[in-house]
Structure formats: C-alpha cells, structure tokens
Amino acid sequence: MRPVDGGTKQRAGRRGKALGLALAGMLALCAPGARAAGGTAADGLALAGQRQCLGCHQVDARRVGPPFRAIAERFQGRPEASGHLARVMREGSRGQWGAIPMPAQPRLSDVDAQRLALWILSLREAPAAD
C-alpha cells in the first residue's frame, strides 16, 4: 500500500465536502413543507437577515455586493449552481462581481449555506417586489 500524500488528502477532503453539500441540499428539499428553495420566500429572507447577508446584499438592489436576483439570473440553468454558491458563501471569492471580494463566511454551516443558495436561485422565478 502506498502512503497518502497531502494532495490526496486534500482531494479526499474536497470530495467529502462536496458530498456533504449535496446531502445538505437533498435534506433541505426533503424536509417537511419544504419547497425547491428549502422553505418559503420569507424563510429565505429571514435566514439571510440572521446570517448578516443583508449587510451587503439585497434582493433587487445593489449594495456592496450584487442583488440576490442578479445572482440567480447569472446561474440560471446551471446544475452545479447551488453547490457553487454555497461554497462561495463559506470560502469567499474575488473578481466574480467586480473589485470588491466576497469575504469567506466560515461560521455559516453547510446546511445554512445550501438553504441560502437554494433560496437565492429560487428568486429568478419570482416576480420582482413592487
């Protein structure tokens, strides 16, 4: 048996994290009373408020970061979108929406990140609020 190097451990860790995110998404979809967004629109907005997402994002207006609906539109039709968005929330990103980076949110659980991602993606189907 050959020894496991650091790269192999990292790949295994990433696969495990991806599997965990996929499982979290499936659980959110299977929860009693859940819709495709992992709950109601009010639940998603409330979770975004609890996790301080609204300090930088709004549903339809740009603040520091892009509006949630613009994110939903950019990722429309991409099967990997919810996992990608959940990962970006937890790990952060640069250069996706301009010069201001998305800071990592390591205290956001995988389950909450997936719930938020599903809610954000559901906004592309909802009419804009008046």
Taking only the tens place, the pLDDT of each residue in 7-33 is 555 655 655 555 444 434 443 443 333
| 3-state DSSP assignment of residue 26 | helix
Residue ranges for the binding site for heme c? 53, 57, 102
- The C-alpha atoms of residue 23 and residue 41 are separated, in whole angstroms, by 22
The pLDDT > 90 percentage for the chain reads: 62
Superfamily of domain 6-122: Cytochrome c-like domain (1.10.760.10)
Q: How many CB atoms lie within 10 A of CB 39?
A: 19
Q: Using 50, 70 and 90 to split pLDDT, how confident is the model at 128?
A: low
Instruction: Kindly list the domain boundaries of the chain, sorted by start residue.
Output: 6-122
How far CA 47 is from CA of 9, 10, 53, 114, 115, in Å, comes to: 33, 31, 9, 11, 9
What's the confidence (pLDDT) of residue 19? 45
The torsion angles phi and psi of 93, rounded to 5 degrees, stand at: -160, 165
For residues 37 and 80, the model is more confident at: 80
Is pLDDT above 60 for 34?
Answer: no
Binding positions = 53, 57, 102
**Helix 6-30 and helix 110-122, axial crossing angle in degrees, nearest 10:** 60
